Structure 1
Amino acid sequence: MENPEVESDFLRSVHALLRELDGHHPAFQSERGMLRWTLHKKIDRNPSNGSLLIRILVKELERAERCNYRQYIIPLLHTLMYTLIKAPFIPDSLYERVYDFCKKLLTLPKPYCTIGLDYARQLKLERTIPGILYQQMVSAEQCLKNDSFPYQEKVFMFADPDLLSVAVCRAFIDEIKAAQTFQCARSCMLYVIERAFQSVLKEQYDVRDLHSLLQAKPLDVIEHCFQQVMAAIEHAGRAMNAGYSKYVEEVRKIYNTLLSTSEEDVQKDEAERSPGIPLPNPRISFHIWRDEDQLWKELVLFLRSPSQSCEQDSLSPELDSFEFQDLVPDFDCCEQTRFSVLSNDSGIERDLPMPGDEIPSFCTTEAEHSRLQRKGCIKKKGASVDSIPFLQSGCSGQGVKPTGKLHRKSGGSTMEPMAVMKRLHTARVLVLGDDRVLGRLAQAYYSLRKRESRRAFLTRRLKVEFYYVPVVEEQPISSPAEEYALPDQTEPCELAAYLGRVDPWYESNINTLCHMIPKLATMPSSPSKTAASDLFIIDVIAYYVRLGLQPVFFQVYAVKLHFSNVTLEPIEDIFIIELNITLDDFNPSTDNLPVKKKPATEVPGTDLTLLYKKVLLSNREKDETVSVRSTGLVMKAIPSNEIEDLVCLSVNIAEVVKTSNLSGRSYAMVTNTIRTRNIALRSAEQRSFTVCLDKDSRRVYKNVISIEVFPCLEPSYCLQKTKAKQATLEEEEDVGLAKYLPKSLLLPINTFAGIIQ
């Protein structure tokens, strides 16, 4: 029976959530993001109220659709689906209403149709087999080993020690450790088993009695029961409606077997336990980002290591001892274990050595024997790592090259029909910090794609998704090796601000953590800090990685720098947010000036020559060459507003313009902006300047006289382009595999909705 007070409380909370999206509560800006978390915590404390909250959310969704309040649809839909996964006993009428609403979204543009289709599929599966979304989520996130559902997921949290203080890092580690105490492998298997019994038996059993019964069982019995439940779920999922009756029969059989083998004197002292079944947070490993190849190493470890319980996850900043000699040590030296191509025997079976024959001395060691062995006179050739499916498997989720449109991409499809191997592992990489950590992420992503273009090792079996949580402390942490003072930055998190503009739900839930996390880290810890109900940061991050599945793609730009010292080779680097050029100070000597002649007024800056392709709204490019006198310029890759959301560089030039007045010849400072995708810049006076990439003082280049900036190419495209050029000696058009591959390197950052038009 519904409680009017509970319904009124839920209704007030939902309306407050909608007002928060409109920004009508400026007095409570510091508490934004708490409303959604508090609402879901109410369901955790009393899961039986889940259907009541879902009914309220469905009414608000239908009202938003009638009144054309599209800004409410995606936040309400995410809130509803997260509640549906947690809450049991949802009536079929509610399933039908939510399913019909999701089908209506298919008539709307992206991202509404994309999210509506995804949730419609999940609802159809959940209505057929109640509890399957919860069970599959827990099994994958906790990496519970079973043959029926072998998918595994893990969250990798990377923090730059030069950007975050020790207190902030310690706060994350403490919350992760506290969360792990409630999500050991045994407990998670119990949750899956209990949810299966709860969805099938419904009100015919008591959760507390069942929990007491299972707690008395040894681990091997629980593992066997878990395997049986997952097998029944998988079989029912394949057969859909026809297999549900069989699924119910199998679950009842498992339940009756447990009752028959249980002892009668089981103690039922779980009075303090919540009657609901909690949803444990995903496995999270915290890493201090020191090594440039650390991201790739951690992904390799995750792919190669067997399933382990969550207690064994590493929270220390240092890597465990691990040998990588057999794991593609470099781009050029990436030969894996292979079979011999040449043979010194006849290939006839009778000529092969008998089992009792002596093995040659050069094959006595196990390592050598594993490196070179005979394959039964037949050399089997597997799928080429240069084939289209392997090269496309990690290229930002895009199957073909961009169509030439300048608008930023969003919401790439997760369907990959051309994939040969089904990827069972998902790595969710989450970075913490300001724009500087994103520049480092772009470098790591480019390095990973370069490795995979030579020999696909990770992308064949591992899906990598990127998430970003902005964190800015009041007093920035400076590096000890800092030698260059950065100019004042008005916005330390430009990319996060852009994501907040295009996705309001990201603004409400993630951008609010920017200054909240440092405040929570400095607060004194309370005795109840270890309780699962107090883990605010980890709960919000878990919500983000579970529902933030719509990527926004950002163009990575390459820069080539030439130095004043001709003995130095040009250097190539990449950036994703900003390139800042500051002209070096030039003080001309006054020793050669005549004593009696008054020196002329010195005009600041230097003469620069710019060669660029001007970007137009008509999707055309026009070659331009200009000469300006400037004191510096800034190239922005992130648009300042959503009106002109073009994939291009906005180059802001501080130009010095000479003017004439009554007091004599003078000058004025003017800021001009040009939009381009390719630009070359050089100093006409051979004066050097300083270049800083992505606002990072550790990525500063001095004594530069010219630079070239252009979109960074996808390494797999470059490899195939080089092969095609060597074979056909043609470079005007893409031939071979190159014409099927994405040309530009795009870094995907996941959000809740992508870009809302």
Structure 2
Amino acid sequence: SIPAEVESDILRRVRTLLRELDGHHPSCQSDRGMLRWTLHKKIDQNPSNGSILVRILVKELERAERGDFRHYIIPLLHTLMYALIKAPCISDELCSRVYDFCKKLLTLPKPFCTIGLDYAIRLKMERTAPGMLYQRMVISEQSLKSDPYPYQEKIFIFADPELLSEAICNALVTDTEAAQVSQSPRACMCYVIIHAMQAALGEGCNVSGLKRSLQEMPTSDVEHWFQQVVAAVESAGQEGSADRSQHAARLEKIYCAVLSALQAGELQAGGLQGTPLPNPNISFHLWTEDDQLWKELVLFIRPLSQSCEPNCLSQDLDNFEIQDIISECECCEQTRFSILSTDSGIERDLPAAAEEPFAPCSAETEQSRLQRKGGIKKKLSPLESVAFLQAGCNGAGAKPLAKPPKRAGTPPEPAAPLQRLHTARIVLLGDDRILGRLAQAYHSLRKRETRRVFLTPRLNLQFYYIPVDHAATGQEELCEVAGYLGRADPWYESNINTLCHMIPKLATMPSSPSKHLMTDLFITDVIAYYVRMGIQPVCFQVYAVKIFFNDPAQEPAEDVFLTELRTQAQDSASLRGVCGELTEPFLQVVVSDRAKEVTTSLRSTGLVMKAIPADEAEDLVCLNVNITEIIRINNLSGRSFSVSSCGWSRPQRGQTLALRGRFAHAVNMFLCSCSMEVSPCLEPSYCLQKTRTMKFSLHETEDVGLAKYMPKSLLLPINTFAGIIQ
């Protein structure tokens, strides 16, 4: 029987969590964000609390639906699903009630229907094969080898050392390393076996005997039974319509085989016991190089230890065909890449004709085939090696390194489709400036993938953002993205934005057992909860800026930004150090997509563009322009200047220029020494595809072919728990 005081305590904590969502925060602000954490820790302390918590959360969800308290639904549902994954055993009756509730969400708008559908699919498999959600999470996060479920995940925490103090970075490195302790592959395989047995057999499972039997086994035997359990759970989950009792019977056979070495008196059931949910595989990185993100992702998919032998390298380089790079592609003008020759360029060094059979060709064709353009000999780094990239992963869908020569008349074999078996979860720590750096790295990665596709077909890329106030000064203007996400998603505000000031405080606390408890069990757990349950992206538009100089010998400068652009005009000697005239033609797109051009002239020292709307319900594709204007003041002693920062528009001052809507126009700024163009950054693959289409259809102005179905703008998705709730 369940003590009444335990159920009452859990119910009180759930109701307190709901009051926080209403804006009635606890008296102590430091408690914010810990309510959800303490609820889930209740399951770790006593496994029987799992069923109590799930039952209470189901009742609160049903009550929220009847009372039309929609802002309760997503936080309660995420809390419930996480409890269901952690709990050792949940009855089919409870799973059925949660499944029915998720199906009801399909009638609501996004994101309710999206989250409801995702959880309904998971629950359907969990009802047939109890323990599947836990099993899949552990296998993927710990990169355990499993043919039935070959997916792998890894969390990459990126922090800019210029934005975060050394104390914060050291504390986070220590915590992420400590989180990996006692998470050996053998231990994680034992966790999967024990959890699957408890989920299927319930209180009839002798957990103590099962643990003792697994401890006495050699690792090879543990791995054997692990594979048996995974195969049984996955096959039952894939069947869908299979009876739950049949799945329990399969696992009971494995259970008896594992316990066969124990004495008969040790086979008595001992009640439910908790099975730890291991921390994910987390690596902490100080972002010191521009291409560091791309390098880490490549190493995740194919570690250097799996790279091919040197004798395969030259052969693979010869077989590799670099994709056409069209110089007219505007999105790639920022960085020009030359095609580098990797051989000596001497004709006699080419492979003999017998090594590469080909159809007879004319002398003119043969001559053109043997011509080589001027190039330089360059030693490629291991990560830049084409053989290294082309080898890809050794999992399903990987391409072979070398292909046997084809006989004449033999039809080509269809290539095996690549699968996205890897998921990289990129967690950014810092303020809005690190998101700007992410936008630049993401744009560079997309351009690289346009030239040579490697990561895209193999990798599922997810981005997360945790604001950190490094100086503890409360500079809210540097955390505007976090503020926007908190207004759009209250669950993000409660669980993630609370870390903004908490991480620096915990990092600077003196070493003590209490500090280790807080950092190891709270910060790491919140990051794990965020990446596991944050499945709804908020897509931010990446903007491109191009500066043209009056000096024709000076190349235009290009860059991208995400949320803010600050510019300062150059000084002019004729104006005695005061900036010259700024003329701004401004295009404002209305609903009918007709552009109205507004032009004015004013004296200014610079401007600030921001792409964060004041209201979370507004379109994220918008620009707010603040111009620092110089106002002339005449006095008795002569003419002087005073500087004031204000918004500007016509005909009234005190307002802000705004460009809104899904627009394709640019904002052009003409300064005394240069002009600047700001526009939504185009997706490099779309730009390349459109340029290729225009090359063969010179008179086409609209998108045709594949370009018609490709996304035009480059969007950076930041994951939250609910996305934007309208």
Q: Give TM-score, length-normalised by structure 2.
A: 0.81
SS of corresponding position for 1:491: helix
Instruction: After TM superposition, list the pairs within 5 Å mapping 1:388-403 onto structure 2.
Output: none
Distance, in Å, in 2 between the alignment partners of 1:505 and 1:735 is: 42
Match of 1:611 in 2: 585
Is residue 472–residue 504 contact of structure 2 (8 Å, CA) maintained in 1? no
Partner Cα separation in structure 2 for residue 674 and residue 616 of structure 1:
14
Residue matched to 1:114: 114
Letter in 2 for 1:276: G
- 1:675 aligned residue: 658
Picking from 543, 551, 568, the partner of 2:554 is 568
Structure 2: how far apart are the matches of 1:169 and 1:23? 32
Deviations 1:709-751 (A, max 9, x none): 1111101011111111211113511122211111110001100
For 1:756, give the aligned amino acid. Answer: I
- Amino acid in structure 2 at the alignment position of 1:74: I
Q: Is the 8 A contact 2:207 2:272 kept in 1?
A: no
- Determine the C-alpha separation between the residues in 1 that align with 2:618 and 2:241: 49
For residue 722 of structure 1, what is the amino acid of its counterpart? T
Q: Report what 1:632 is aligned to.
A: 606
- Kindly state the Cα deviation for residue 575 of structure 1 after the two structures are TM-superposed: 0.3
The answer on whether the counterparts of 1:629 and 1:656 sit within 8 Å (CA) in structure 2 is: yes
| 1:157-202 deviation per Cα after TM superposition (whole angstroms, max 9, x unaligned) | 1111111112111111211122111322111100100011112221
Matched, 1:439 2:408: no
> Paired residue for 2:28?
28
Q: Quote how far apart the aligned CAs of 1:425 are.
A: 1.0
**1:340–1:374 CA contact under 8 A, matched in 2:** no
Partner of 2:526: 540
Give 3-state SS (helix, strand or coil) of 1:681's partner.
strand
Distance across 1 between alignment mates of 2:232 and 2:570: 70
Match of 1:578 in 2: 564
Q: Which residue of 1 aligns with 2:540?
A: 554
Report the CA distance shift for 1:10/1:569 in structure 2 as closer, same or farther (over 3 A): same
Would you say 1:126 and 2:102 are equivalent positions?
Answer: no
Q: Equivalent residues in 2 for 1:160-559 (5 A)? A: 160-242=160-242, 244-262=244-262, 275-305=273-303, 333=339, 375-377=405-407, 420-474=417-471, 491-527=477-513, 534-559=520-545
CA contact (8 A) 1:429 1:467 kept: yes
Is 2:429–2:465's contact at 8 Å kept on the other side of the alignment? Answer: yes
- Name whichever structure is richer in helix by fraction: 2
Give 1:576 shift. 0.4
Matches of 1:212 and 1:172, distance apart in 2: 35
Aligned counterparts, 1:15-164, within 5 A? 15-25=15-25, 27-164=27-164
1:83 Cα deviation from its structure 2 partner? 0.5
- Partner SS for 2:477: coil
Q: Displacement, 1:31?
A: 2.6
Q: Aligned equivalents of 1:619 and 1:62: distance in 2?
A: 44
Q: Would the aligned equivalents of 2:179 and 2:520 in 1 still touch at CA under 8 Å?
A: no
Question: What SS is found at the alignment partner of 2:179?
Answer: helix
Secondary structure at 1:20 match in 2: helix
Equivalent residue of 2:601, what SS? Answer: strand
Q: 1: CA distance between counterparts of 2:74 and 2:260? A: 47
2:57, 2:80 within 8 Å by CA — same for their partners in 1? yes
Question: AA paired with 1:616?
Answer: V
* Preserved contact between residue 582 and residue 670 of structure 2 (Cα < 8 Å): yes
Q: 1:756 to 1:732 in 2, by over 3 A?
A: same
Q: CA 1:255–1:154 in structure 2 vs 1: closer, same or farther (change >3 Å)?
A: same
Q: Which residue of structure 2 aligns with residue 312 of structure 1?
A: none
Tell me by how many angstroms 1:52 deviates.
1.0
Q: Distance in 2 between matches of 1:346 and 1:29?
A: 74
Query: 2:223 is paired with a residue of what secondary structure?
Result: helix
Q: Distance in 2 between matches of 1:612 and 1:425?
A: 44
Normalising to structure 1: TM-score of the pair?
A: 0.78
> 2 CA distance for matches of 1:341 and 1:575?
50
Corresponding residue SS for 1:180: coil
Q: Per the alignment, do residues 274 and 617 of structure 1 end up closer, same or farther by CA in structure 2, a change over 3 Å counting?
A: same
User: How many Å separate the matches in 2 of 1:293 and 1:382?
Assistant: 36
Structure-2 residue corresponding to 1:412: none
* 8 Å contact kept, 1:340–1:372: no
Deviation at 1:250, TM superposition (A): 2.6
1:306 and 1:275 mapped to 2: Cα distance? 41
Partners in 1 of 2:413 and 2:596 — Cα distance? Answer: 47
2:581–2:604 Cα contact (<8 Å) kept: yes
Distance across 1 between alignment mates of 2:459 and 2:352 = 30
CA distance in 1, matches of 2:686, 2:694: 12
CA distance in structure 2 between the partners assigned to 1:292 and 1:260 by the alignment: 56
Higher RCO (CA-CA < 8 Å; seq separation 6+): 1
Q: Which residue of the partner structure matches residue 480 of structure 1?
A: none
Q: Deviations over 1:624-663 (max 9, x none)?
A: 3332332321111111222433412111223445689999
Cα distance in 2 for partners of 1:202, 1:749 equals 39
Aligned to 2:653: none
The structure-2 alpha-carbon separation of the partners of 1:751 and 1:643, relative to structure 1 and needing over 3 Å to count, comes to closer
1:395 corresponds in structure 2 to none
Paired residues of 2:183 and 2:278 also in contact (CA < 8 A): yes
* Contact kept in structure 2, 1:581 and 1:634, CA below 8 Å: yes
Q: Is the 8 A contact 1:425 1:461 kept in 2?
A: yes
Shift of 1:527: 3.9
Find the aligned partners of 1:496 and 1:343 in 2 and give their Cα distance.
63
Structure 2 counterpart SS, 1:286: strand
Deviations 1:86-111 (A, max 9, x none): 11332233222222221121111100
Q: Which amino acid aligns with 2:102?
A: C
Indicate yes or no: 2:709 matched with 1:740: yes
Tell me whether 1:650 sits opposite 2:624 in the alignment: yes
| Whole-Å separation in 1 of the counterparts to 2:204 and 2:26 | 49
Report the 3-state secondary structure (helix = DSSP H, G, I; strand = E; otherwise coil) of the residue aligned with 1:250.
helix
* Uncovered stretches (5+) of structure 1, i.e. residues with no partner: 309-322, 349-366, 385-418, 477-487, 591-601, 689-704
Residue 333 (structure 2) aligns with: none
Give the number of equivalent residue pairs.
644
Where does the alignment leave 5 or more consecutive residues of structure 2 unmatched? Answer: 307-312, 324-335, 344-349, 360-386, 388-399, 649-655, 660-664
Verify: 1:9 aligned to 2:39, yes or no. Answer: no
Q: 1:341 to 1:524 in 2, by over 3 A?
A: farther
What is the letter of the counterpart of residue 509 of structure 1?
A: N
The CA distance in 1 between the partners of 2:62 and 2:29, in whole Å, is 28
Q: Is the 1:154–1:426 contact (alpha carbons within 8 Å) kept by the matching residues of 2?
A: yes
Cα separation, partners in 2 of 1:342 and 1:727, compared to 1, 3 Å: farther
Amino acid at match of 1:501: R
Secondary structure, aligned partner of 1:121: helix
* 1:706 alignment counterpart: 675
Q: Taking structure 1 as reference, are residues 558 and 633 closer, same or farther at Cα in structure 2, changes over 3 Å only?
A: same
Q: Confirm or deny: 8 A CA contact 2:143 2:152 kept in the other structure.
A: yes
Change (3 A) 1:489 1:179: closer
Q: State the shift of 1:525 in Å.
A: 2.4
- CA 1:521 to 1:345, structure 2 compared with 1: closer, same or farther past 3 Å? closer
Judged with a 3 Å threshold, the aligned counterparts in structure 2 of structure 1 residues 490 and 666 are, in CA distance, closer, same or farther, namely farther
**Contact 1:156-1:285 at 8 Å conserved across structures:** yes
Give 1:23 deviation, angstroms. Answer: 2.1
